[in-house]
Amino acid sequence: MAPSDGDALTVNARGMKCPWPALRAARAMRNRNAIIIEADDPIAPAELAALAQQQQWTFAALGDHRFSLRRPI
């Protein structure tokens, strides 16, 4: 059983070039309802948004190279 949405895991993908942040996010979301991913590659926001759209997850930019991915409730 996956943890609740309030138990967002923080994933550090700073310094990684795409597609690694998206791959780490997808792996982390296997067992989670929500993650916060830190990624500083300029392409990461678009890659993470595309991943979220493909998986029907919610994507949000939180600022300071932090992004939220969340399964729908």
pLDDT tens digits along 5-52: 467 999 999 999 999 999 999 999 999 999 999 999 999 999 999 999
Helix, coil or strand: residue 23: helix
How many alpha carbons fall within 13 Å on the CB side of residue 46? 5
> pTM value?
0.89
Please give the pLDDT value at position 6.
61
The answer to whether residue 65 scores a pLDDT higher than 90 is yes
pLDDT at 58 over 70: yes
Taking alpha carbons only, the member of 53, 43, 55, 54 closest to residue 18 is 43
Residue type, 11: V
